[in-house]
Amino acid sequence: MESLQDFFAREVAAAQAHITAMVEQQNRFWREVHESHDQWQRATAIVCNRLPVRGWYMSGQEPAPLVVQLARRIEAEAWADVDRLMLQHVPVFRLDAVSPRLASKGVPVYCIDRLRRFFDHHQKGNYEEATYLGVPLLDEVCLHLYGTEFTRKSPPTLISSTSAKAALSSLGQEFVSDFGSLQNKIEDARLQDEDYWCRHAILHGKMRRPMGIKDSAKCCMALAFLIRNHDERE
């Protein structure tokens, strides 16, 4: 017959084992949380640093796993896959719903009407028309929302302007922490390159190829970046 002392010793040992297992489970959980956070930060840094160089911006409302997927493909230099993923996440704006919010932030009616024409052209597949309407809209929308231009060559004003930078969300600040393709100088040797997207070359009529879906989509994503990253806390 088991003694009372042996009974309590067994119960204490079982309780200790149970507590140890619970602590290890909690520790494993927090290790996974920290690892995921570190992975997310690393992926975000890669995406925010490399995407703008090719003309892509993100609004911050894309699915969270997309950042990690993009970072892996960027590191592998799989740019065709990057473009494919970005094209799958080009936002569809419902300007009837967005217009009152833009108007409340000081965006005038004529600018909202131009935005409507841009998105209409993009959604109908008129990519040449959409691109040449969308590129100057980047500065116009930025000027109304942030009080500064988006694409000035030197310095890039959303980086250098304290007041403008403060109006960006934290993700938005990461995307404009350095020069992107919107601010780079024209590379004459790449003016026929399908993947070359330079605001200055497009705006000043120097591109030597027709504008396609990626060109229009990059305008769309950059506009979404400006509209959706405007800091609501102000």
pTM of the model: 0.78
Predicted local confidence at residue 233, as pLDDT: 43
Nearest-angstrom CA–CA distance, 58 and 60: 6
User: Which amino acid does the sequence have at 186?
Assistant: I
pLDDT at 167 over 90: no
Quote the CA–CA distance of 189 and 204 in Å, as a whole number.
16
Identity of residue 225: F
Determine, yes or no, domain membership for 88: yes
For residue 221, is it within any domain?
A: yes
In a domain, 204, yes or no: yes
Assess if residue 186 is contained within a domain.
yes
* 2 belongs to a structural domain: no
pLDDT at 234: 42
- Please say if the pLDDT value at position 159 is more than 60: no
Domain boundaries, position 224: 37-228
CA-closest candidate to residue 199, choices 186, 214, 208, 217: 186
Helices (H), 51-126: 65-75, 79-87, 95-104, 109-123
Q: How many domains does the chain have?
A: 1
The whole-number average pLDDT for the span 41-51 is: 88
DSSP-assigned beta bridge partners for residue 230: 168
Instruction: Give CA–CA dist 184/164, Å, rounded.
Output: 20
Domain membership flag for residue 146: yes
Q: Residue 180 above 70 pLDDT?
A: no
The answer as to whether 5 is a domain residue is no
What percent of the chain is modeled with pLDDT above 70? 79
Report phi then psi at 26, rounded to 5: -65, -45
Q: What is the pLDDT of residue 1?
A: 58
Q: State in Å, rounded, how far the first CA of the chain is from the last one.
A: 75
Q: Is residue 133 part of a domain?
A: yes
